[in-house]
Amino acid sequence: MKNEQDRDSAKGSRDTTGQDCSKEKYHKLTIGAAYKPGTKSRLDRIRYAMKDFMVNRRSKSSEKLGQISKVSSQPMTAERAMVESRLEKVGTGQKEEPMPLERYSYYHGCLSRLDAEDILSSVPVGHFLIRASKRTKESFAVVLSIHTSTNIAHYQIPVDDSGKFYFNEFAFDTVHELLHFHWKQRVPISLLHDNEVFLVKAVDRPDWLFDDNEVILEPKPLGEGNFGAVYRGYVMLGGRKIALAIKTLQNPEDKHGREELLKEARVIRRLKHPNIVWCVGITVSSEATMVLLEFITGGSLDKYLRKNMLTPTTKVKLLLGVANAVEYIHKNEVLHRDLAARNCLLVLANDRPETVKLCDFGLSQEKVKEYQLTVVQQIPVRWSAPETLADRLWTQKTDVWSYGVMIYEFFSNASLPYFEVEPFDGKILLHYLKEGNKLRASKDMPPDVVKLMHSTFDLNPALRPNMTQIVATIQTILKRMPK
C-alpha cells in the first residue's frame, strides 16, 4: 500500500557524518572526586592514560566515539559553515570553540527514561546515549544512559564548581571531551555491583526522534486529545513531505500527561501492521512533547458511518481489517482496552473506503494477557465486557467483546450502544447484560455476521472466540458475499 511504501522509503534516511575534536582539555579535580580507585595499579593506569591522552590530543588525526558521527548530515547552512570554519582553525594556534552538545548524533534531547531503555535494550553492553532530564522548572541535567552487564543504568553527569563535567577523578570543559576520554582510554565511568562500566560505542539518534523545528504545524487544531489538541502538520523524511496528525501536550508541566503520551507512542512504534496507524516519531528537543502520527484522509470511522451509506460487503471488509489488527496486537501481547469505531481511521481511495487503521492506544497495556485496574480511571462503559464492569478486569476476551460492539456500530451507522437502557451507568448495564440482553442486530446485518456478533457476547469469556477464529470466520463470510 502507498502508506507502507512511504514508510519504507523514509526509514533510515537521516544519516549522520562528522569529525571528532582533535584537541582536548582536561582538568584534574582537587575536591569532590567521585571515583576512588580500588588499587594502586588502577590509579597508575588512569594517570598513564591521562599522559597518553595529552600526547595524542595534539595529533591531527581524529577518532570517533565507537564510530559515532558528530554532526548531522544536513545541507550546508551558515551555521554549519561557521562550525566547520572553527574546526579548520585547529593547529593554526587559534582556540577551537566547542561544538554544542545538541549537534552530536548521540545526543537524544529530552528523551524519556523509558524510551532510552527501549533503545538500549536492543544493543550490546557498553552502548550508550546522552539525553537531558528536567531537574527544576528552569534547569536540565545531562544524563548518560548505558547498557551495562546487569541492566540499563542512568548516570546524571555531575558538574563541579567551575562548570566542568566529570564522572570520577577528571573533569572536562565539555560533555564530548569527557566521553571521548573515557571511551578512548578505556577508563571506567563507574563501578556497578563490583563491575566496571566502560563506554564502548555511542548510539545514534533513531529516525523517529525529531527536533521541534523539523515539524510544521497548521494553526487550526483538528480536535482534542486526552492531554491536548491534535493538529495537522508535516515533516520532511527521506526527501518526502509526510502528512501528520500531531498529538500535543497542553501543559508542558503535566508529567503524568507526558508519560502517558510517550507511552502510547512507544506502543504504536513497536507495532508494524497495515491496519494500525504508523507512529512517525516524537519530538524531544524540549519538554513540549509532540507525538507524530500518519495523517489518515478519511478521519474517524464513526463519523464516516453516520454520514455515508456503505454496502454490507464493504462493512465486512472493513471489519476484517480491524480483526486483523487486533489479532496482531494480541499475538504481540498488547491489550487495546478501547476498541470502538471512534478509534479507527478510514483510508479513502478516490473518495471511497479502501481500508481501516486501528489507532488511539492511550489505554493499551503491553506484555500482558490480563490487566486489572487498581486506581480510579474512566473506562468506555458501553464497550466493556461484564467482567470489566464488575471487576475492572481486561483480557484478550474483553477486547473480543468490544469488537462485537464494533460490529453493532458498523451496521447501525455508529448508533450509541444500549441507547435503550435508561437511566444508564455501569451497574445498570451489568445487570442488563446478566439478564441475557444483547445488542440488537440491524436488518441489513447478514445472518452469519449476527451469529458472530452474538458469539462475542457470551457471558463466559472462555466461550467467546479468539481473534484468530474471528478472522477466519469473517474471511469465510466474505467469500459468500457479493463482490
Kindly report the CATH number assigned to the domain that includes residue 346.
1.10.510.10
Task: Select the more confidently predicted residue: 286 or 314.
Answer: 314
CATH of the domain at 105: 3.30.505.10
Query: Mean pLDDT, to the nearest integer, of 360-389?
Result: 92
**By residue range, what is the domain housing residue 350?**
299-480
Give one DSSP letter per residue of 136-168, joined into a string.
SSS-EEEEEEEE-SSSEEEEEPPB-TTS-EESS
For residue 269, the model assigns a pLDDT of 96
| Total domain count, the chain | 3
Q: How far, in Å, are 7, 8, 291, 299 from residue 294 at the CA level?
A: 10, 13, 10, 11
pLDDT above 90 coverage of the chain, percent: 66
Confidence bin at 169 (pLDDT 50/70/90): confident
77 found inside a domain? no
268 sits in the region (left: phi over 0; alpha: psi -120 to 50; else beta) called alpha
Place of cell 482496552: 337
pLDDT for 343 equals 97
Residue 37 has pLDDT above 60, yes or no: no
What is the overall mean pLDDT for the chain? 83
Q: How many CA atoms lie within 13 A of 141 on its CB side?
A: 15
CA atoms within 13 A on the CB side of 469: 11
Section 243-267 average pLDDT: 91
Q: Does 341 lie in the same domain as 370?
A: yes
Give residue 66's pLDDT band: very low, low, confident or very high (50, 70, 90): low
pLDDT over 70 for what percent of the chain?
Answer: 78
Based on the fold, state whether residues 422 and 317 are members of the same structural domain: yes
**Which are the contacts of 125, defined by CB distance < 8 A and separation ≥ 6?**
147, 148, 149, 200
**Alpha-carbon span 285 to 225, nearest angstrom:** 22
Of 294, 319, 347, the domain-final residue? 294
Q: Can you give the pLDDT at residue 96? A: 59
Contact between residue 140 and residue 134 where contact means Cβ atoms under 8 Å apart: yes
Cβ neighbourhood burial of 222 (10 Å; 0-12, 13-18, 19+):
middle
For residue 465, is it within any domain? yes
Residue 193: the pLDDT is 59
pLDDT attached to residue 134: 80
pLDDT at 56: 46
Instruction: Please tell me whether residues 163 and 182 are part of one structural domain.
Output: yes
171: enclosing H helix or E strand: strand 170-172
Same domain for 372 and 262?
no
- The residue among 200, 234, 251 that closes a domain is 200
pLDDT tens figures, 87-115: 333 344 444 567 899 899 999 999 999 99
332 and 389 part of one domain: yes
- Assess if residue 54 is contained within a domain: no
Domain annotation covers residue 447:
yes
Q: Which residue has the higher pLDDT, 50 or 19?
A: 50
Q: Which of 252, 274, 294 is the last residue of a domain?
A: 294
Global confidence as pTM? 0.80
pLDDT (average), residues 313-322: 98
Range name among 160-174, 310-324, 393-407 with the lowest pLDDT average: 160-174
Does the pLDDT at position 2 exceed 80?
A: no
**pLDDT tens string 38-62:** 444 444 544 444 544 444 443 433 3
**Position 86 in a domain:** no
Residue 444 and residue 389 in one domain? yes
pLDDT at 160 over 80: yes
Please give the pLDDT value at position 183.
Answer: 94
Question: Same structural domain for residues 233 and 182?
Answer: no
Are 437 and 460 part of one and the same domain? yes
| pLDDT at residue 139 is higher than 90 | no
Least reliable range by pLDDT among 96-100, 266-270, 341-345, 381-385 = 96-100
What is the arithmetic mean of pLDDT over 205-210? 94
Give φ, ψ of 431 to 5 degrees.
Answer: -65, -40
Q: Has residue 334 got a pLDDT over 90?
A: yes
Lowest model confidence (mean pLDDT) among 7-11, 34-38, 157-161, 312-316: 34-38
Mean pLDDT for 51-76 is: 42
Region for 395 from its dihedrals, namely left if φ exceeds 0, alpha if ψ lies in -120 to 50, beta otherwise: beta
What are the helix (H) ranges across 94-227?
A: 113-120, 175-184
Nearest of 77, 74, 28 to residue 51 by alpha carbon: 28
**Is pLDDT of 371 > 80?**
yes
Look at residue 422 and tell me if it is in a domain: yes
3-state SS string for 244-277: EEEEECCCCCCHHHHHHHHHHHHHHHHCCCCCEC
Give every CB contact of residue 56 below 8 A, 6+ residues apart in sequence: 184
Shared domain for 319 and 359, answered yes or no, is yes
Residue 253 lies in a domain: yes
We report the CATH number of the domain holding residue 257 as 3.30.200.20
* 276, 372: one domain: no
Answer with the residue of higher pLDDT: 436 or 18: 436
Rg of the chain on CA atoms, in Å: 28
Determine the pLDDT at residue 14.
44
Please report, for residues 106, 229, 232, 245, 262, the alpha-carbon distance to residue 223 in angstroms, rounded to integers and kept in the order given. 35, 6, 10, 10, 19
Residue 164, annotated as binding a ligand: no
Assess whether pLDDT exceeds 80 at residue 15. no
| One domain, residues 237 and 255 | yes
pLDDT score of 64: 52
Strands 209-210 vs 279-283: parallel, antiparallel or unpaired:
parallel
- 262 and 114 housed in the same domain: no
For position 346, what pLDDT does the model report? 97
pLDDT at 1 over 70: no
Q: Would residue 135 count as lying in a domain?
A: yes
